[in-house]
């Protein structure tokens, strides 16, 4: 299995387990900058050099050796479970991707046909019933995660705990898990623990939100998208995310965590 979704600086100053929709573009650019003194020109997910990634064959032995020996500080970042799934919907389902096409080709037509989802059109300003469509998408997301039908779950809406657990199960250990909602505090704590070839001043780092602007703007407060049935689905598929990363299940409108992340608990629960 190895360490899918794991990135490491070329200097091996730090190891990061990517969790989609959790500031991964910004974190990747910070790592790149910390080695090279400049940002990668483009989406960091497209970088084929300047950083070690598990997806690149030549990086795998280096990442494996480092992680198994815990030679570098290792971290990841999480996000409120409600806002993460909403972001996935607006970006991946409603949005037009960087290549000018819909995400995953036939995915959106499948959702329109099987689940009655509307996604709007950039030509008409993305006008559609966002709440109704989102709730139907959530039913689809639940079906992919629970039953793996009509397709395997996508990395952008599969549970954060699932991404994070592969690192632990295969022999890794996290030194830090922080929240996107307190990004500067968490990222600074990581930077304070590591030695980098180039100093990173978080106050001057831009936010690299590669998904922004692809799709419609969210028109309603977060809590309006989640009725009782939606919350039932959220608990069914993301129970561990709420519990381990201390987000408020009872109040979708509260994006801030309500407790401290217990790393020992995370390793115990996700290492089984």
- Tell me: the pLDDT tens digits for 123-147? 777 789 999 999 999 999 999 999 9
Question: How high is the pLDDT of residue 35?
Answer: 98
Task: Quote the Cα angle for 173-174-177, to 5°.
Answer: 160
pLDDT at 251: 98
**How crowded is the C-beta side of 116, counted as CA atoms within 13 Å?**
6
pTM (predicted TM-score): 0.95
Tell me the average pLDDT across 245-272.
97
Predicted pLDDT at 247: 98
Overall average pLDDT of the 78-102 stretch = 92
What's the pLDDT band for 213 if we cut at 50, 70, 90?
Answer: low
Average pLDDT estimate for 35-64:
97
Task: Give the pLDDT confidence of 162-210 residue by residue, as tens digits.
Answer: 999 999 999 999 999 999 999 999 999 999 999 999 999 999 998 887 6
pLDDT of residue 236: 96
Length of the chain counted residue by residue:
272
Q: H-helix or E-strand containing 221? A: none
Residue 58: pLDDT above 90? yes
Per the CB < 8 A criterion, the answer to whether 29 and 40 are in contact is yes
Here the tokens at position 125 are 């300003």
Contacts 24+ apart (CB under 8 A), 20-24: 20/88, 20/155, 20/156, 20/163, 21/79, 21/84, 21/87, 21/88, 21/91, 21/156, 21/211, 22/76, 22/77, 22/78, 22/79, 22/84, 22/160, 22/180, 23/77, 23/79, 23/180, 23/183, 24/77
What does the radius of gyration of the chain's CA atoms come to, in whole angstroms? 19
Strand partners, 179: 78
| pLDDT at residue 100 in the model | 82
Retrieve residue 97's tokens: 């991707």
At 212 the pLDDT is 60
């Amino acid at each position: 299995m190895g360490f899918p979704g794991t990135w490491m600086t070329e200097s091996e100053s730090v190891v990061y387990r990517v969790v989609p929709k959790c500031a991964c573009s910004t974190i990747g650019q910070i790592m790149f900058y910390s080695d090279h003194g400049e940002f990668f020109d483009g989406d960091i997910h497209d970088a084929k050099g300047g950083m070690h990634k598990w997806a690149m064959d030549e990086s795998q032995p280096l990442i494996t050796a480092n992680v198994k020996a815990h030679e570098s500080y290792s971290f990841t970042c999480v996000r409120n479970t409600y806002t993460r799934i909403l972001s996935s919907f607006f970006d991946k389902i409603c949005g037009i991707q960087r290549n000018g096409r819909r995400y995953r080709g036939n995915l959106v037509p499948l959702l329109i046909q099987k689940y009655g989802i509307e996604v709007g059109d950039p030509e008409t300003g993305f006008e559609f019933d966002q709440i109704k469509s989102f709730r139907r998408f959530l039913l689809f997301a639940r079906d992919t995660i629970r039953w793996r039908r009509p397709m395997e779950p996508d990395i952008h809406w599969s549970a954060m705990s699932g991404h994070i657990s592969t690192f632990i199960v295969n022999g890794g250990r996290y030194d830090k898990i922080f929240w996107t909602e307190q990004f500067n505090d968490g990222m600074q704590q990581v930077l304070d623990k590591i030695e980098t070839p180039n100093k990173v001043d978080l106050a001057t780092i831009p936010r690299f939100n590669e998904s922004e602007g692809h799709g419609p703007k969210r028109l309603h407060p977060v809590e309006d998208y989640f009725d009782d049935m939606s919350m039932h689905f959220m608990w069914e598929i993301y129970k561990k995310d709420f519990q381990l990363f201390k987000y408020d299940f009872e109040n979708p409108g509260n994006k801030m965590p309500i407790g401290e992340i217990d790393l020992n608990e995370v390793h115990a629960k996700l290492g089984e």
